[in-house]
Amino acid sequence: MPAYITTPIYYVNDRPHIGHAYTTTVCDVWARAMRLRGEDVFFLTGTDEHGVKVEKSAATKGVTPQALADENAAEFQRVLKVFGLTNDDFIRTTEPRHEKQVQYFVKRLLDAGSVYLGTFEGWYDEGQEEYYTETRAKELDYKSPISGRPLTRATEQNYYFKLSSFQKRLEDFFAANPDFVQPAARRNEVLGRLRDGLQDVPVTRTNFTWGIPFPGDEKHVIYVWIDALFNYITALGLGEPGGLLATQRAKYWPAAYHVIGKEILWFHAVIWPALLMALELPMPRRIHAHSFWIADGQKMSKSMGNFVDLPTIEGYFAKYGLDAWRWYMATQGPLQASDSDFRAQHFHETYTSELVNVVGNCPSRVTAMISKYFEGKMPADSQAGGEWPAKCAAAVAQWSAAIDELDLVGAAQAAMSLLREVDAFIHRTEPFKLAKDPARTGELCSILAQCAETVRIAGVMLEPFLPEKMAELRIALGQGDAPAATMAERTTWGRIAAGTQLVKCALFPRVEV
Ligand code: ME8
């Protein structure tokens, strides 16, 4: 089954920071998990390069917008490599393939009567490039919810999208698809705002030029948000009917899972579906709007200078390793409805209590005992796994169900519980005592073989989170480093043949504070 996962496309007026790294890492874990399961995955990220923000930022720096975009898009791409992220494509909105298709879609909207020329007056948030209704502006005390700066009253002659005419269809769609927006708290916010009633939204601007020209009326440029949202389908070539991309990639639509931050939910949950309805294209499968990383209890902001930036992140890589960073992002991040506080101390504690003490220690104990008592050769298990094959199968099922829901904590938990059970099993059965009694060698063999095999299966489930370390674990368990088999095959009980040479492993060294 085709599966499609997307990050927001990031603005190039800024350098990458923890927020960008976070969303992309979450998507990467999911993409790897789906691939592991044998699904046909397409994972997209990219950069949002037009609009007044980029134009202004470039002017301040004394470079052209394109030069600024080129520089920062290259930086985002470099970061993907450093982080080992496995995106299948990287879309830039200044690429001709994107611009051409956006014009095609906008022209289709115009021809269909969903876009018209009109005059508009409203409350405008300059930083966010977003208009608010009177009700909403009042709620916000006429201040930007993001920057806190006053909203300005703006009048413009523009092309408008008839968002208002989709009110009923959107309401029906939300009613029929209760899981469309996740988490539930975010969905409720959208429904609340939808009840206020929808107003038409501008799709063009004339107050700046750094954008895609409106087809047929080139003094207008296409509003950056409309331009940006289309990336999700231009990357698949849906706007070049019969084109090469379309033939290869069209299968990924509408299997889309859009992962975004909560501040851009309205665009994704309401405007994007309405645009797709107007184009008679099917709806994506889900919009998942996560919350924010904050730092030491405070909102991260450029002006406060407390953004966890790349040099800081690279410091964590150097001290704890890339996998430890991924683990913290995936299991301690703001994936659901609450914000997460990034604290060095908490990072360290999570590393020690989960990665050192469980994911590192359990395989280390098992391989050390097998080394000591059986010269590293996998012992034969006369009990055919005892209760463990069923436990592992249940954990894999739990992992898989969690992955379906983008519940990375749940998926990690499924594997961690198995490892903790192995630890408890060792504690209970005391193989180090059995080893002293030759009459009980058979029992000892079974216990250690069952532990090793369970560790192997938990390791498979942890691969999307900890790809480097789990590759080391595979080698330690004599499983080679390039598994071609599917998840189902790889989580079948008994793949470590008796007699296989295992190696003692130490995956996560203790780190001093
Ligand atoms: O909004 N915590 O781009 P952007 C967690 N170009 N995630 C964070 C974060 C934080 N503190 N700060 C940022 C744009 N993010 C538009 C999107 S999509 C068609 C166009 C992440 O560069 C989060 O995913 O401002 C958020 O939605 C995104 O970065 C915003 O990136």
Q: Supply the range of the domain harboring residue 404.
A: 343-490
Which pLDDT belongs to residue 479?
94
pLDDT at 351: 98
Which of 445-449, 458-462, 486-490, 508-512 shows the lowest mean pLDDT across its residues?
486-490
Residue 301 has a pLDDT of 75
Q: Is the peptide bond before 273 cis (omega within 30 degrees of 0)?
A: no
Q: What is the arithmetic mean of pLDDT over 80-106?
A: 97
**Residue 442, domain member (yes or no):** yes
Asked if the model's pLDDT at residue 79 lies above 70, the reply is: yes
Mean pLDDT (whole number) for 224-246: 90
Tell me what percent of the residues of the chain surpass a pLDDT of 70.
99
23 CA closest ligand 1 atom index: 24
Tell me if 9 CB under 6 Å of ligand 1.
yes
From ligand 1's centre to the CA of 124, what distance in Å? 20
60-78 pLDDT, tens digit each: 999 999 999 999 999 999 9
Ligand 1: nearest atom to the Cα of 10 = 22
Residue 40 lies in a domain: no
Report which ligand 1 atom has the smallest distance to the Cα of 231: 19
> Do 411 and 403 contact (CB within 8 A), yes or no?
yes
pLDDT at 482 over 70: no
Ligand 1 atom closest to 333 (CA): 5
How far, in Å, CA of 262 to CA of 323, rounded? 26
pLDDT class of 127 with cuts at 50, 70, 90: confident
Give the model's pLDDT for residue 244: 67
How many domains in the chain?
Answer: 1
Residue 40 confidence (pLDDT) above 80 = yes
131 against 86, higher pLDDT:
86
For residue 289, the number of C-alpha atoms closer than 13 Å in the C-beta half-sphere is 21
- Structural domain contains residue 163: no
Q: Residue 394 Cα, ligand 1 centroid: separation in angstroms?
A: 36
pLDDT level of residue 363 (50, 70, 90 thresholds): very high
Residue 102 lies in a domain: no
- Statement: residue 130 has pLDDT above 90: no
Contact 190, 265 (CB under 8 A): yes
Q: Is the CB of 265 under 6 A from ligand 1?
A: no
Residue nearest to atom 12 of ligand 1 (CA): 19
Residue 385 DSSP symbol = T
Residues 144-153, mean pLDDT to the nearest whole number = 90
Do residues 472 and 505 touch, judged by C-beta distance below 8 A? yes
Residue nearest to atom 3 of ligand 1 (CA): 10
Residue pLDDT, tens place only, 239-280? 987 776 777 899 999 999 999 999 999 999 999 999 999 999
pLDDT reported for residue 481: 64
Q: Which residue has the higher pLDDT, 311 or 302?
A: 311
- Taking residues 208-214, report their average pLDDT: 95
The pLDDT confidence band at residue 122, using thresholds 50, 70 and 90, is confident
Report yes or no on 312 lying in a domain: no
Q: Per the structure block, which two tokens stand in for 322?
A: 């890339």
CA–centroid distance, 10 to ligand 1, in Å, is 6
**Is residue 448 in some structural domain?**
yes
Distances (CA, A) of 116 to 33, 162, 200, 225: 44, 8, 10, 17
Using N-to-C axis directions, what is the helix angle for 18-36 and 65-82, rounded to 10°?
A: 50
Which phi and psi angles does 484 have, rounded to 5°?
-95, -15
pLDDT, residue 472, reads 96
Structure tokens, 140: 């916000």
Q: Looking at residue 325, what is its pLDDT?
A: 98
State the CB neighbour count (10 A cutoff) for residue 433.
10
Among 76, 223, 113, 75, smallest CA distance to 158 is for 223
CB 307 within 8 A of CB 295: yes
* pLDDT score at 156: 76
According to the model, what pLDDT value does residue 99 have? 98
Flag whether 430 is in a domain.
yes
Q: Is residue 447 part of a domain?
A: yes
The mean predicted confidence, pLDDT, of the chain is 95
Ligand 1 centre distance from Cα of residue 301 (Å): 12
pTM: 0.94
Q: What is the CATH number of the domain that holds 427?
A: 1.10.730.10
Nearest CA to ligand 1 atom 4: 10
Position 296 confidence tier, pLDDT thresholds 50, 70, 90: confident
- How far is 1 from 17, CA to CA, in rounded Å? 33
- Residue 428: pLDDT band with limits 50, 70, 90: very high
Ligand 1 within 6 A of 8 CB? Answer: yes
Site to probe by mutation for ligand 1, drawn from 91, 264, 328, 329 as the one with most ligand atoms within 8 Å of Cβ, is 264
Q: Is the CB of 11 under 6 A from ligand 1?
A: yes
